[in-house]
Structure 1
Amino acid sequence: MDSFVVAPDHDAAKAAVGCLPFEPRHVVPYPSGRPWILADLPFTTLSVVHADGKTLAFIGPGDVPRDQMATALSACASVADLDGFITSLPGVFHVVARIAGRSRVQGTASGLRQVSYTEHVGHIWAGDRARTLARLTGAPLDRSALALRLLEPVPHPLPERGLWRGIETVPAGHCLVLGDGRDRQVERWWRPPAPSRTLAVGADRVREALSLSVRQHARGRTRVSSELSGGFDSTALFFLAERDQPVVAVTAVGRDPLDEDAAWAARAVSHARRADHRVVPAERLPLVYAQLDRATEPLDEPSIAVASRARVLAMTEIPRREGADLHLTGHGGDHLFVGLPTLTADLLRSRPLLALRHMNAYRGMFGWPWRDMAGQLISPGSYRRWLATSATSGTGADPRFPILTWGLGATMPPWLTPSAAETIHEEVRQAARTAAPLASTPGRHLELDGIRDGARLARALTDITACAGLPLSTPFFDDRVMEAALAVRIEDRARPFAYKPLLAAAMHGIVPPDLLTRTTKGVGSLDLAVGLRAYAPHLSRLWSDSRLAELGLVDGQRLTYLCARPDSVELDDGALLTTVACELWLRSLEHA
């Protein structure tokens, strides 16, 4: 896996460098000669320029033209002056810069590329992995932070809570600015655009941004592969990539006889000019929960991705054997283009008649009771009030309950210990006293929170596949693609009876017209249900020596009992996935 740290300009740093959990094959020094950036980057590129005592580095897929970097750097008097140049490039990079004695370290606005930091030997260290910094400093695990990860979903801002004491996470859209010693500030550099563009203009911008992102990911690669599920998102990336080079397309056949994905994938390949199609039949595709005993990848945080790791690795194994060094996947497309009903609720003030017509259509589609819908629309309340009173209500489990305020009520698993439940409630109460939403309206907040949540999942999947030799690439989480989508008017993105209208308009002329008519989506629920049944004995045994139980967070005996009975109603809401993720993550720490 790729990893880097930014060390302080101090003699004490030299000794600490020997404690890093990776061999730094790339070292960028300070003017003093001491190491500044130390990195191991088997899958990404480090682009560096120096000019007039200043340094600028980009870490990500493909290089950045050095002449452009040098020109931009020469014009900067401070690290804040880099904003314009950074946002002119595809938004897929970590950025590290040093100007006038101050360093700037940042990830992406989507959250796909993250930055953490900590104090060690009297100075601030930063890097892309909290786990690396924890190993460097010997930081202890934060039990309360881990307890929060047993929620599904984890409400904002709690996912930013570090899992090790003393290790802090820089929020997405912010950067870390470092001076000498303990001097550091977290500064905001990105804000979401106003949703003001028309569908036609927005589609052009999405097409341009997505095309540039795919090309940036493919820069310098020798063989490109692409997931081709048959869904809208992967089909778009497949045709964008296939314009410039031959592509190995990989399709998995689901076990659900009503799943149409494979048929749509075959239709897509029939239109392609330069594609080799590889199909993984259902009987060769591992079930959810398969091979959990092999889930030792050093992820930065617990992720439900581990439950499907065997399936994902089966999909990337084929192109890896055929020499592919880039694998595109459509993760993130749903987060940008589905259009949440909550967004339509945001239109009530500016376009009330349109908003009410669309809300009535959603009510009919989902069976929402009038009273529940009207109550949320009339009085959504403040974010702090919602976090304090509703964040752990579990309302997200019922699709017939409208979610038109600030978020889904998280599920509290029934196997939590009283101590864990009280810890979670107290942490949520504490957060609610100062929490601010990601946007001023519930719809935009929920959308941005969903993007960050999707980016966390994509980050974990990328790490899992990187450990096997072929990491995933997710152009939909490119900041420029995200910005292009968010800038389109809500009424053009969120329509009750149109499926991803913005993406369909953006792909006009690239994806064949007959493929843009699809309005269905495979969800894989049958594979999850079958996997739970098939691996019930393995899941039951997992709790006999549970690390979560040792920490007093879960009742291991109750989990053993429930997992031996996979039809239990307590296992219906996805909470088991989250608990398994936390358990396996704790075990992975023992392999560090």
Structure 2
Amino acid sequence: MRWFGGCAPGGRQAVPVGARLLWSRPALWITGTWPVHPARVAVGRSTRLAVLGTCSASERDLDRALTAPDLTEAVGEWAGSFIAVRLTQRNVVEVLTDPAGACPLYTVTTPDGLVWGSSSRALSGLAGGDVDDDWLASYLWDTKAPVPGRSAWANVTPVPAGHRLLLSAEAVHSSPWWSPAKRRPAEALPAVRRALSEGVRVRVEDVETSTDLGGMDSTTLAVIAARHRPITALTAHPSAVTEGGDLQYARALDVPGVSRIEFPLEDHHLPFSPAEVPLPAVDEPPPSNAVWAMLSAQLRITAATGATRHLTGDGGDDLFLPSPRHLVDLARSRRWLRLVSDAMAWARLRRQDPRPLIAAALRGDMEGIARPWLTRPAWLTSSVPTPTAQAGDADSALISSVRTAARTAHADGQLANAVGVELHNPYFDGAVLDAVVSVPSHLRFSAHRYKPLLVDACGDLLPEPHRRRTTKGVFTADFHRGIRANLPRILDLADGHLAARGLIDPAPLRATVHAAALGAETIWASLLPTLAAEQWLAAIERTPAIRWQTTAPAGAR
């Protein structure tokens, strides 16, 4: 498994067996086999700096950050998804977490001091290796609102996104370092384009890369990537569908540097089908669990072309296709005409009554606007409380939503490691989030234009048909077919680890699975996480824990 981490100064140093030290006293390491080295290190007279992950900083930028009075100001403009670590002459470790949470970080407290790392599962080996059932139950209730301040593993604590850790032999201090900037729309659009373009460039310029090629989000990434080096772009489609949809737009994309591959999905690629590559153990239930048979096959196809990195459009919907949470902001500022106009436009688009939307906006109920269908799953038996209603404004709701999606996407990236491919999601870069959230919330929303902010920022890079596209591929029917084709195996999951832990009642879960197999309307946002959690627990059970040692491995310096 690929991950990295380090120790606080003082005490004995706990290091994973087989790790490669970047420096010692205190230890900083990387583990696993990486297609491209994940760390860049700058060394000064009395300080050291490491940037772990994808980062647009030049060597000169690293040298400046090495001695900058304020590290946050030095790294704040860098594109990519990364963690910055600086060791000062006072033997203090400064760790800056990614603003969007795409590079999640965790800590565990041991008798010898604090250890931090990018894998909660790996760190759990220092804290008993137990799954946190309270976190898991809250995840089953609402994947976007698990117990705050906890991870999927007992006694392993997440470091909030956009925070700074200061670690010394005497104390540990955490505080926010990032807050969203405010820009005029005329300034924000170039910022979105610059952040996204730089995030793609730094990922592709020195590495053979593939991309998805389907909707507007992935197409935009493919076109940007091809400006820097030739890439392979893959379009998945049901084998029985050979025209229209994503295929139509993919075939119409004729830009230099893009080599297109079509990937027909057969019955053995259906959701919930067994994959040729066993589901690996990762930090938490991965979003792509149900489609692992398809995703692993897709990644093997692109790997066969020589690609070691694959870019996806995940995160584009979160950023550029928001639900109308801004109605709450309009209500608070008493902009009644705009509130009613936007609520009615959204209601027409969704063929629903606008009155519940307006009522939710007036009472400040953002989740009532964004996810009115959300209910406690009938099979959940745990006493986990109802998730706390989200307060704040549309900006904070967007940030929270992106951070949750980015964190869970990290688990998908760990899945991809099993087939030797790095999975990257440039839309989850902190600089992209900063640029998008700087636009006023009501300007990010439109019921009449598809992803207006993305089109206005990057649309001129796309051919005219793609720029005017207003639809995307939908695979809901495949999930019904997948459950039907794999029904006995899925029903067996109902009587597995979750039931043994007392978290679910198998009977209502089996009833929901049967109904989904028959094509009944299904709340997939409740069913899919439950099935994913069950298979995740099974993968953990069959996978050895990460081993640790308290003596430095060979190669320390």
**When the two structures are superposed, what TM-score results if normalisation uses the length of structure 2?**
0.89
1:520 aligns with 2:471: yes
Tell me which residue corresponds to 2:175. Answer: 187
Decide which of 217, 222, 227 is 2:203's aligned counterpart.
Answer: 217
Q: How does 1:128-147 map to 2 (within 5 A)?
A: 128-147=118-137
Q: Secondary structure at the match of 1:272?
A: coil
Q: How far 1:411 moved relative to its partner?
A: 3.1
The Cα of 1:541 is off from its aligned counterpart by 2.3
Q: Is 2:380 aligned against 1:416?
A: yes
**What is the distance in 2 between the residues matched to 1:486 and 1:94?**
21
Query: Does 2:34 match 1:42?
Result: yes
Q: Which secondary structure state, in structure 1, belongs to the residue aligned with residue 266 of structure 2?
A: helix
Residue matched to 1:263: 248
Q: Which residue of 2 aligns with 1:74?
A: 67
Is residue 2:454 matched to residue 1:503?
yes
Alignment partner, residue 2 of structure 1: 2
**Matches for 1:295-444 after TM superposition, within 5 Å:** 295-348=278-331, 349=333, 351-380=335-364, 403=369, 410-417=374-381, 420=382, 422=383, 424-425=384-385, 428=386, 432=388, 437=391, 440-441=392-393, 443-444=394-395
**Greater relative contact order structure (CA < 8 Å, 6+ sep):** 2
Q: Which residue of 1 aligns with 2:405?
A: 454
1:82-139 per-position Cα deviation (integer Å, ceiling 9, x unaligned):
0111112114111111223321223311111111001112411111111111113324
* Alpha-carbon displacement from aligned partner over 1:420-444 (angstroms, at most 9, x marks no partner): 1x2x12xx47xx5xx984xx31x22
Q: Residue 184 of structure 2 aligns with which residue?
A: 197
- Residues 246/70 of structure 1: CA separation in 2 closer, same or farther (3 Å cut): same
Aligned alpha-carbon RMSD (Å): 2.6
| Residues 256, 524 of structure 1: 8 Å contact kept | no
Give the letter aligned to residue 251 of structure 2. Answer: A
Residues 463-474 of structure 1 correspond to what in structure 2 (within 5 A)?
463-474=414-425
> In the TM superposition, what whole-angstrom CA distance separates every residue of 1:475-534 from its partner, at most 9, and x where no partner exists?
111111111111123343211111011111222331112210100111211111111111
Distance across 2 between alignment mates of 1:573 and 1:89: 37
- Where in structure 2 are there 5+ consecutive unaligned residues? 545-557
Contact 2:9/2:91 (<8 A) preserved: no
| Counterpart check, 1:97 vs 2:97 | no
Distance 2:270 2:340 in 1: 42
Matching of residues 484-499 of structure 1 within 5 Å: 484-499=435-450
Instruction: In structure 1, list runs of 5 or more residues that go unmatched.
Output: 387-395, 397-401
Residues 1:234 and 2:222 aligned together:
no
> In structure 2, which of residues 47, 51, 56 is the aligned counterpart of residue 58 of structure 1?
51
Where 1:264 maps in the other structure, the secondary structure is helix
Q: Normalization by structure 1: what TM-score?
A: 0.84
Give the secondary-structure state (helix, strand or coil) at the position aligned to 1:93: strand
* Contact residue 26 and residue 40 of structure 1 kept, 8 A: no
Aligned residues: 538
What secondary structure sits across from 1:108 in the alignment? coil
State the one-letter code of the partner of 1:262.
Answer: L
Separation in structure 2 between the aligned mates of residue 37 and residue 54 of structure 1, nearest angstrom = 17
Task: Report the Cα offset of residue 416 of structure 1.
Answer: 2.3
Q: What SS class does the counterpart of residue 40 from structure 2 fall into?
A: strand
Give the SS at the match of 2:280: coil
Q: 1:52 to 1:410 in 2, by over 3 A?
A: farther
Q: Distance in 1 between matches of 2:75 and 2:127?
A: 31
Which stretch of structure 1 is more off in the superposition, 553-562 or 354-363? Answer: 553-562
Flag the 1:483–1:541 CA change in 2: closer, same or farther, 3 A.
Answer: same
Asked whether the equivalents of residues 61 and 219 of structure 1 are also in contact (C-alpha less than 8 Å), the reply is no
CA distance in 2 between counterparts of 1:354 and 1:492 reads 11
Does structure 2 retain, via aligned residues, the 8 Å contact 1:94–1:107? yes
Q: Residues 290 and 535 of structure 1 are in contact (CA less than 8 Å); yes or no, is this contact kept in structure 2?
A: yes
Pair 46,316 (structure 1): closer, same or farther in 2 beyond 3 Å: same
Structure 2 residue aligned with 1:246: 230
Q: Secondary structure at the match of 2:319?
A: helix
Shift of 1:41: 5.6
**What is the rounded CA distance, in whole Å, between the counterparts of 1:75 and 1:106 in structure 2?**
14
Q: State whether structure 2 residue 23 is matched by structure 1 residue 28.
A: yes
Shift of 1:278: 0.9
Q: CA deviation at 1:445?
A: 3.0
CA contact (8 A) 2:181 2:434 kept: yes
Match of 2:161 among 172, 181, 190: 172
Task: State, as a whole percentage, how many aligned pairs show the same letter.
Answer: 28
Is the 2:104–2:410 Cα contact (8 Å) retained in structure 1? no
Partner of 2:540: 589
Q: C-alpha deviations, 1:35-85, integer Å up to 9, x for none?
A: 344544614421111223211110113674333212222233xxxx10111
